[in-house]
Amino acid sequence: MILVCGEALIDLVPAGADGLWRAVPGGGPANTAVAIARLGTPVQLLCRISRDGFGRRIRAHLAECGVGLELAVEAAEPTTLAVVDLDDRGSAAFGFYVNGTADWRWSAAELPSSLPPGTRAVHIGSLAAVVPPGADVLRDWAAGLARRDPELTVVYDVNVRPALLPDREEYRARVEPWLRIARVVKASDEDLAWLHPGREPADVAREWLGAHGLELVLLTLGARGAAAFAAGGTVARADGVPVRVADTVGAGDTFTGAFLHATLSRGMDLAAALRYAVTAAALTCTREGAVPPSRAEVDALALGPAPRVS
């Protein structure tokens, strides 16, 4: 069992050239939970879902995908909206309507004091981990989990969205405490380039690994694949998988979900799990919106030479 915690929102995605938009369930943690479920690993999503029409659509989508919602909170606030802007290569940028919406209003009473039986990892991401006031509540809760169970794998997905928090210093200050709680951190090269301009993302990943005693930093590199920096100096790399890109929405979320599935459910080593996650992310890029692949699809494409390990 993997517990995923964070936002579940609606992505407004361009639908043709006539100015129409398509409303699609999304949100990084929700997408990650769907990816895990589609790969066959039991997953629960701890989130706040609005009672409004968009919220009902989100709930139905997650249930249909096999995501457990026993811990999901029914929220009175409206659903958060993310407006997706695609460039001519299908790369996505996001704008947000967040004032007074459901995803950021956590109270301590809404968070479980104990985890579902068999929980092997808690994945916490992206915007819900940094947007006040709920981010502070989630951080205190996660810190308590880590203190009570040092063997629990806490995974933090950075997933920077400057449109939501444009102040770089503030963003770094909100990310930093999570680096002291998590055992595994995932970030993209774009995340680290924005947080630490002028520095090589790989150097930042190595610095985080040593400074915070992390077990693993996962660094996605877009079309170039991904790298993993592990305690003890091990570095694994997986090349990108060439595909025809529809858009990149949900690719990073799928990467993380597939990596957790590969390591926790299937016992893959670091190199194999990294290749598996890159393959799953590439397949997501071939579909419009965040539509993670099935286990059969990833298994079929992931077979091949192992990635480089140094």
Confidence of residue 309 (pLDDT cuts 50, 70, 90): very low
pLDDT exceeds cutoff 50 at 306: no
- Provide the pLDDT confidence category of residue 17 given band limits of 50, 70 and 90: low
Token pair in block for residue 149: 């169970």
- Rounded to an integer, what distance in angstroms lies between the CA atom of residue 56 and that of residue 98? 18
Cα 302 from Cα 47, distance rounded (Å): 31
What does the DSSP assignment read for 29-43?
HHHHHHHHHHTT--E
Mean pLDDT of 76-85: 92
pTM: predicted TM-score of the whole model, two decimal places:
0.93
Q: How far apart are CA 6 and CA 128, in angstroms?
A: 5
Question: Hey, which bits of the chain come out as E strands?
Answer: 2-5, 9-14, 21-26, 43-46, 48-50, 73-75, 81-86, 92-97, 121-125, 153-157, 184-188, 216-220, 226-230, 235-238, 308-309
More confident residue, 85 or 56: 56
CA 196 to chain centre: 20
Residue 308 pLDDT exceeds 50? no
**Cβ atoms of 3 and 70 closer than 8 Å:** no
Measure the CA dihedral 37/42/46/51, to 10°.
60
Q: Give 42-110 as a DSSP string.
A: -EEEE-EEESSHHHHHHHHHHHHTT-B-TT-EEESSPPPEEEEEE-TT--EEEEEE-TT-GGG---GGG
d(CA 277, CA 188): 13
When pLDDT is averaged across residues 162-191 and rounded to a whole number, the result is: 96
Amino acid at 62: L
Domain count, the chain: 1
Looking up residue 302, the CATH number of its domain turns out to be: 3.40.1190.20
133 upstream amide cis, omega within 30 of 0: yes
CB 30 within 8 A of CB 38: no
- Mean pLDDT for the chain? 93
Q: Which of 249, 297, 300, 198 is nearest to 11 (CA)?
A: 249
In the chain, the percentage of residues whose pLDDT exceeds 90 is 83
Q: State how far Cα 146 lies from the chain centre.
A: 19
The residues, ordered by sequence, that sit 6+ positions from 234 with a Cβ below 8 Å of its Cβ are 270, 309, 310
Residue with tokens 């990943």: 205
Q: What is the mean pLDDT of residues 90-111?
A: 90
Segment 137-151, tens digit of pLDDT = 999 999 999 999 999
Could you give the CA distance from residue 29 to residue 275 in angstroms, rounded to a whole number?
Answer: 21
Distance (Å, whole) CA 255 – CA 292: 9
**Owning domain of residue 76:** 2-309
In the predicted model, is pLDDT for residue 74 greater than 80? yes
Q: For residue 310, what is the DSSP state?
A: -
* Burial (Cβ within 10 Å: 0-12, 13-18, ≥19) of residue 276: buried
